[in-house]
Amino acid sequence: MIGGVGYGGLVIALVASLTAVITSIYGARTHSAAVLESARRAAKVTFPLLTISILALLYLLVSGHFEYSYVYQTTDLEMPFYLKLAALWGGQEGSLLFWCWLLAGFSFLVVIRRWKSEQDLLPWVIAVTSFTLLFFLILVVFFENPFLRYFITTDGEVTRALFQPMMTAQANPTNGAGLNPLLRHFGMVFHPPALYLGFTGFVIPFAYAVAALISGHTDDQWLKLTRRWSLAAWLFLSLGLVLGSRWAYDVLGWGGYWGWDPVEISALMPWLTGTAYLHSAVTQEKRGLFKHWTIALIILTFCLVIFGTFLTRSGLLSSVHAFSQSAIGPAFFVFIIIMFTGSLGLLLYRWSALRSGEQINSFFSRESAFLFNNLLFIAILLICLTGVLFPIFSELLTDRKVTVGPPFYESAAGPLFALLLLLMGIVPLTMWGVSTAKNLGRQLWRPALVALAAPLAALASGVQKWIALLAVWLVFFAVFATLWDTSRAVSLRASSHQESAWKAFVAQVRHYRRRYGGYLIHIGVSLMALGIIGIEFFQTTTQGMIAVNETLNLSGYTFTYQKLEVFDTTDGRNRALATVVISKGDLLLKTVHPGRDYYYASQQSVTLPGVRSTLADDLYVILVDWQPITSEGATLKIFRNPLINWLWIGSGILVLGTLVALWPAGERKKIMLPRGIDQ
Amino acid sequence: MSEDLRAVNSRQRFRINKFVIGGVLLLAAVVLLVITSLKGNAQYYLTVEELTAGKAGQSASVRVSGVVLGDTIRYDQQTLDLTFSVAHIPGDNDEIEALGGLASVLHSASLDPNAARLRVKYSGVKPDLLKNEAQAIMTGSMGADGVFYAEELLLKCPSRYEEGVPEQAAP
């Protein structure tokens, strides 16, 4: 019954989005206000309808209706409540429905807020978002239906169907198979929704860009209207990537945070073009440059979002991420081709209208730096695409599948990431418009020199890898240059306004939220780089089988194995938990409990690392094995991951910086005036 | 006046050319970077059959995929040396789908006594997912002793809901 309601919501939403596509195009072409109004209503109603479907599925998940195959496959009776809710995106069908719901929610926000002021663009925006929604709803309704139930035929076969087929009895499982134990983590609650919010969020700026191209309003209006959409989408995408990384670090058992797996790369690719897009958009707003390029980047970002979804769900790639494979690949392929060629064709059609007449006048100007930033992001994208598609093309061309692993990405993209760091240091000290090498050099030498202190200190403490020293210098150069420019602006304001330094700083940030938000993001990214340098270049490890009260040593730390407990938990796990005391010299630092959970139902074990975290390093202890009967000896593997926490701290600063840039600026309201007034 | 403009124009064209040259140089550098990185790091992705038939040739590093045979797993707690055998599964995705999906391919391959098998050695922490009927994707090289020495070991258990046949409550 509840399932029927949920499925009904889906079907009506599908009809509504189809109506919205047709009426919005027809209404825009005939300039019929009445038709457009019905388009708007149709677009609006998809959100409440899909909310009903989502609530229905959530109800089924939480109340344990295991006769529904999706509920059976993603939950069981023992799972905690929050994981039952998160099971909504724990499988293909539910996560696609969740995708649809978010997209419908975003278009809902667009049409209720600004219908009057954007009458030229909105019909086409509705057409694009509704078409995208229609595509995903077709997948959910016809191919990946989350509301299928199990039925048993007279000869004992189990089938799945929406309605009870003839000659069958409804199945009545007492318990579900449960979520994959590796997914039973807090990361499961936040990582997928953040990624999906990022993915679907980019649909809105894309829809506006296409609307601008179709309607011929190729000025900056679409860009200004979607500035905060894009930033928010970028924020969620960044957050999704970082949360996934943190989750992997916590559960993979060896402190891995990024493995260049195809699924990871397919989420990174839209982030790369999205970041390039944000920079290109700033240049267009400030200097009227890169207009074609900005639109091309948002088209690319949207297509990469869809492409990534396609790659991870079609089973085309071999990845360790446990996505189910299904038959929706070809449909995705057709959709991507339509969107990519369609929007690219529109861009070419409006090519001359987008010409601005502005040019870059100086090699050392800020716009020039932004251009190089864009080129570097695109270069990294090409490397990612090469790596991901190489197995497919090599098999097509030579009949032998050739793959590339992390070393390829590291050696090809590593130098480009280093150049990006360098550029991040240079950019705050450049100026829009005209600038010379001499001018720039005069600004640069001080932070460049001060930053040398960091690699020199590292050298003094025994670091000898020159690449690591260079990387450390790049990080500190980027941070110092940013701080340098900020302090210069603050002291200028403080002396001209006769204010205290703090007051001047606050005023400065309030006035130029986007610039200082960007600066904060840059500092965050630099610190993230520091964490990556730490674990990549300086990770140390040891291992050994030791008896109770014996010790292992690593990088000056002593690890004493004290005891092991093995017991059953109340929710179907057998847990082995060791007690290990970490000390340095005579100083006792922390007691950690590395262990392992064994899930009886799925016969699957999950490693629980014991970690001592500080700003200097993580000591990451894993219980590899133990003597089952005597529990006298245990095998421990220990990693020391220097500086890794700066990766997470940097991510936090990145989020903060994006929020500063997103914060609505009161004095900028003028831009939002209805179009009619200045015409 | 118009001469001035022309002068500005040609100067701008000159500057844009500088960007074109810079862009081309950057592109060339990236292509070079990709090619050199590919040369050092590309690996053949083979099935167990292909690998045991010597299809890897002289390649130092290859990637191979197979199904883990649970009762062959041996783990030395002292040295963290892990050995196990994998059996052949098809490499082609369409073929796997045609045979009823990854889960059933893994299941039947693990029971097939005639499937090509490969002995694997790996040193390190025993992965949580290493168990019977898991798909192992390994990167490493063949030793002269016919054992595959894996440097990287990734495991994949197909999500349960491909097989999902619920047990019944009493009617």
A275-310, pLDDT tens digit by residue?
999 999 999 988 888 889 999 999 999 999 999 888
**Exposure of B92 by Cβ count < 10 A (0-12 exposed, 13-18 middle, 19+ buried)?**
exposed
A182 CB neighbours in chain B (<8 A) are 128-129
CA distance A126 to chain B (A): 36
Assess B37–A contact: CB distance below 8 Å, yes or no: yes
Model pTM? Answer: 0.91
Q: Residue A270: pLDDT above 90?
A: yes
CA distance B49 to chain A (A): 14
CB pairs under 8 A between A and B: 177
Residues 322-351, chain A: which have Cβ within 8 Å of B? 322-325
B158 CB neighbours in chain A (<8 A) are 322, 324
Average of pLDDT values for A124-136? 96
Q: Residue A152: pLDDT above 90?
A: no
Average of pLDDT values for A388-407? 86
For B126, name the nearest residue in chain A, comparing CA atoms only: A624
Assess B54–A contact: CB distance below 8 Å, yes or no: no
For B55, name the nearest residue in chain A, comparing CA atoms only: A400
Q: Which of A355, A367, A378, A403 to mutate to test the interface with B (most CBs of B within 10 A)?
A: A403
Instruction: Give the pLDDT band (50/70/90) at residue A433.
Output: confident
Burial A321-351 (b: 16+ CB within 10 A, else e): eebbbbebbebbeebbeebbebbeebbeebe
Q: Which of B19, B45, B156 sits opposite A401 (nearest CB)?
A: B45
Q: Which of A96, A283, A320, A631 to mutate to test the interface with B (most CBs of B within 10 A)?
A: A320
**Exposure of B167 by Cβ count < 10 A (0-12 exposed, 13-18 middle, 19+ buried)?**
exposed
Assess B19–A contact: CB distance below 8 Å, yes or no: yes
Return the domain boundaries, chain B.
1-42, 44-169
Question: Where is average pLDDT lowest: A233-242, A427-436, A493-502, B56-65?
Answer: B56-65
The DSSP line for A513-560 is HHHHHHHHHHHHHHHHHHHHHHHHHH-EEEEEEEETT-EEEETTEEEE
Instruction: Give the pLDDT band (50/70/90) at residue A477.
Output: very high
Assess A154–B contact: CB distance below 8 Å, yes or no: no
| Proportion of chain B above pLDDT 90, given as a percent | 18
Q: Which of A174, A404, A625 sits opposite B38 (nearest CB)?
A: A404
Q: Which of B22, B78, B97 sits opposite A545 (nearest CB)?
A: B78
**What pLDDT was estimated at residue A250?**
86
CA distance B93 to chain A (A): 7
- B30 to A633: CB separation less than 8 angstroms, yes or no: no
Residues 260-319, chain A: which have Cβ within 8 Å of B? 315-316, 318-319
CA quadruple A582, A584, A587, A589: dihedral sign: negative
Which residue in the block uniquely carries the two structure tokens 């040369």?
B39
Which secondary-structure segment (H or E) carries A336? helix A329-349
Q: ipTM strictly over 0.85?
A: no
CA distance B145 to chain A (A): 25
Residue A111 structure tokens:
């049409």
B18 CB neighbours in chain A (<8 A) are 363
The matching CATH number, chosen from 2.40.50.140, 3.10.105.10, 2.60.40.10, 3.30.365.10, for B44-169 is 2.40.50.140
Pick the closest to residue A294 from A212, A366, A364 (CA basis). Answer: A212
- A402 to B45: CB separation less than 8 angstroms, yes or no: yes
Burial A271-307 (b: 16+ CB within 10 A, else e): bbbbbbbbbbbbbbeebebbbbbbbbbbbbbbbbbbb
Q: How many angstroms separate the CA atoms of A139 and A326, rounded? A: 11
Q: Which of A391, A607, A633 sits opposite B128 (nearest CB)?
A: A607
Assess B95–A contact: CB distance below 8 Å, yes or no: no
Q: Residue A5: pLDDT above 90?
A: yes
Q: Which of A173, A182, A325 sits opposite B102 (nearest CB)?
A: A325
Read off the pLDDT of residues A310-342 as tens digits, 9 standing for 90 and up.
887 776 666 666 555 567 778 888 999 999 999
A379 CB neighbours in chain B (<8 A) are 26-27, 30
The DSSP line for A30-52 is HT-HHHHHHHHHHHHHHHHHHHH
Mean pLDDT score across all residues of chain B = 79
CA quadruple A571, A572, A578, A583: dihedral sign: negative
Q: Residue B60: pLDDT above 90?
A: no
**What pLDDT was estimated at residue A40?**
93
Residues 482-511, chain A: which have Cβ within 8 Å of B? none
**What pLDDT was estimated at residue A678?**
36
Neighbours of A184 (CB within 10 A): 21
Residue B73, phi then psi, degrees to nearest 5:
-75, 125
- A411 to B41: CB separation less than 8 angstroms, yes or no: yes
* E strands, A237-338, in order: none
- B45 to A359: CB separation less than 8 angstroms, yes or no: no
Task: Answer with the residue of higher pLDDT: B78 or A233.
Answer: A233
Read off the pLDDT of residues A66-86 as tens digits, 9 standing for 90 and up.
999 999 988 988 888 999 999
Query: Which amino acid appears at position A55 of this protein?
Result: L
**What pLDDT was estimated at residue A626?**
83
Residue A288, phi then psi, degrees to nearest 5:
70, 20
**What pLDDT was estimated at residue A107?**
93
- A323 to B161: CB separation less than 8 angstroms, yes or no: no
CA distance B129 to chain A (A): 7
Q: How many angstroms separate the CA atoms of A50 and A102, rounded? A: 9
**What pLDDT was estimated at residue B15?**
54
Assess B63–A contact: CB distance below 8 Å, yes or no: yes
- Give the single-character DSSP code of A164: P
Assess B164–A contact: CB distance below 8 Å, yes or no: yes
**What pLDDT was estimated at residue A452?**
94
CA distance A51 to chain B (A): 25
Average of pLDDT values for B51-77? 84
**What pLDDT was estimated at residue A660?**
94
Assess A360–B contact: CB distance below 8 Å, yes or no: yes
A32-to-A23, A29, A116, A123, A594 alpha-carbon distances in Å: 10, 8, 14, 11, 67
Residues 48-77, chain A: which have Cβ within 8 Å of B? 66, 69-70, 72-74
For A323, name the nearest residue in chain B, comparing CA atoms only: B159
Assess B73–A contact: CB distance below 8 Å, yes or no: no
| Proportion of chain A above pLDDT 90, given as a percent | 61
- B42 to A402: CB separation less than 8 angstroms, yes or no: yes
- B41 to A386: CB separation less than 8 angstroms, yes or no: no
Q: Residue B110: pLDDT above 70?
A: yes
For A368, name the nearest residue in chain B, comparing CA atoms only: B19
Query: Which amino acid appears at position A636 of this protein?
Result: L
Residue A581 structure tokens:
């005391």
- B80 to A637: CB separation less than 8 angstroms, yes or no: yes
Q: How many angstroms separate the CA atoms of A528 and A483, rounded? A: 17
B151 CB neighbours in chain A (<8 A) are none
Q: Which of A402, A436, A596 to mutate to test the interface with B (most CBs of B within 10 A)?
A: A402
B131 CB neighbours in chain A (<8 A) are 603-604
Mean pLDDT score across all residues of chain A = 89
- B15 to A607: CB separation less than 8 angstroms, yes or no: no
Task: Answer with the residue of higher pLDDT: A180 or A446.
Answer: A446
